Amino acid sequence: MSNTQPSYEQAIDKLRTIVSQLESGQQGLEESLSLFEEGIQLTRFCDTRLQTIEERVQMLLSQHQGVTQ
């Protein structure tokens, strides 16, 4: 992954591409390992992004519940 972070959607698209490439079995061992490493980084990025969004949603819901009570 480059220094600029992709959007969540871009990361998922790239991850799908990597999975397709790995499933094709057309890469050598080193290329497959490199793709796998990039896939792991993208997976971690997406997981972290989803956790951040979930926290924001929970915060907004708790604020909303505080207003309506």
Q: Walk me through the domains of the chain, giving residue ranges and CATH numbers.
A: 8-68 (1.10.287)
Location of structure tokens 């959607």: 9
User: What is the per-residue pLDDT for 2?
Assistant: 52
CA–CA separation, 40 and 5 (whole Å)? 15
Confidence of residue 4 (pLDDT cuts 50, 70, 90): confident
CA–CA separation, 43 and 46 (whole Å)? 5
Q: How do residues 7-49 score in pLDDT, each as one tens digit?
A: 999 999 999 999 999 999 999 999 999 999 999 999 999 999 9
User: Which one-letter amino acid corresponds to residue 40?
Assistant: I
Q: Is the pLDDT confidence value at 1 over 80?
A: no
